[in-house]
């Protein structure tokens, strides 16, 4: 028996009863988990669900997506935000098809070598799809560990070596993939950033933050993400015009999407630089692969 056995048992028992019924928990294939993890980055489950389900119907395998253009992926991404994720998924699908015979690899190093797949996503796919033992550290998991183990309201802005070592030391010998999912679920539905529901928490009496009287966050200020008037909003407006067209869009249609010409041109240039938009001649623009 280890010092963490009670924590493990309580969270795993809670998860067995309270886990949300999500499609990527029913279909735990490598492709299903990879698509869901990329979509869920900085995006809530409620917004991801309809896009994920439509995506998987259209592209049930990496090879199916790789056979279509990157512009098709960007269009199907819809309004999820951060559309470069759609390009990365397409690039990953091409790499999986060419390097791995169309099957998502089960080795962490091979996952990490895929385009657009970082440490978190590689660990998540290896864990949730293939049952391996990895520290899966998304925002929710990090917040749970900061509060329950460290007694702090929030973790550091980015993962530290000490934090990763702590998370690794907490991994149970068995069911590490379920432990990862359980801690993630707890952070998502109970131990939320703004309104934690300690009355519903299965480990409330083990939580050091609660025991300390919920001390205020004393690290760098946590800033919310602005939207109105930002380049992100402008890029979103321009992408919406392009997604709604089946082919190239004249520059005038993009000009009408945002009044500030200097900001609009800067954002259009950045979309081209990111590979999300292709200039196609005669002053027109299109999603990648959708030009004349």
Contact by Cβ (8 Å): 182, 132: no
> Which residues on adjacent β-strands are paired with residue 278?
286
What 3-state class would DSSP assign to 279?
strand
For tokens 């009044």, the residue is: 259
Q: Which residues are catalytic?
A: 37
Phi, psi of 29 (to 5 degrees): -65, 160
Contact by Cβ (8 Å): 183, 7: no
Contact by Cβ (8 Å): 145, 133: no
Distance, CA of 156 to CA of 241 (rounded, Å): 38
> Which residues on adjacent β-strands are paired with residue 279?
285
Contact by Cβ (8 Å): 288, 76: no
Distance, CA of 19 to CA of 33 (rounded, Å): 16
For tokens 């996952």, the residue is: 111
Contact by Cβ (8 Å): 85, 41: yes
Q: Which whole-number Å values give the CA distances from 51 to 63, 104, 106, 262, in the listed order?
A: 19, 21, 25, 33
Q: Which two tokens stand for residue 199?
A: 């009355």
Q: Which long-range contacts (CB under 8 A, 24 or more apart) does 249-252 make?
A: 249/284, 249/285, 249/286, 250/283, 250/284, 251/283, 251/284, 251/285
């Amino acid at each position: 028996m280890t010092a963490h056995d009670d924590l493990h048992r309580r969270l795993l028992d809670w998860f067995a009863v309270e886990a949300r019924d999500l499609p990527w928990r029913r279909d735990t294939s490598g492709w299903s988990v990879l698509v869901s993890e990329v979509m869920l980055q900085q995006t809530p489950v409620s917004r991801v669900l309809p896009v994920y389900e439509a995506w998987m119907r259209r592209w049930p395998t990496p090879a199916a997506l790789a056979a279509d253009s990157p512009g098709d992926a960007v269009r199907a991404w819809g309004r999820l935000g951060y559309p470069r994720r759609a390009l990365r998924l397409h690039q990953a699908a091409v790499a999986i098809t060419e390097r791995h015979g169309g099957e998502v690899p089960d080795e962490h190093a091979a996952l990490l070598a895929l385009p657009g797949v970082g440490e978190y996503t590689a660990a998540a796919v290896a864990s949730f799809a293939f049952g391996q033992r990895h520290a899966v550290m998304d925002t929710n998991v990090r917040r749970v560990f900061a509060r329950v183990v460290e007694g702090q309201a929030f973790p550091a802005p980015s993962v530290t070596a000490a934090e990763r070592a702590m998370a690794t030391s907490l991994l149970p010998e068995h069911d590490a993939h379920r432990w990862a999912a359980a801690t993630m679920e707890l952070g998502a539905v109970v131990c939320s950033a703004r309104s934690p529901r300690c009355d519903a928490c299965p480990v409330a009496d083990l939580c050091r933050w609660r025991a300390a009287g919920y001390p205020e966050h004393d690290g760098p200020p946590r800033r919310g993400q602005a939207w109105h008037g930002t380049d992100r909003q402008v890029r979103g407006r321009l992408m919406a015009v392009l997604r709604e067209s089946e082919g190239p869009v004249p520059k005038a249609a993009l000009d009408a999407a945002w009044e500030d010409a200097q900001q609009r041109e800067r954002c259009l240039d950045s979309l081209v630089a990111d590979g999300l938009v292709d200039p196609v001649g005669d002053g027109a623009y299109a999603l990648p692969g959708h030009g004349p």
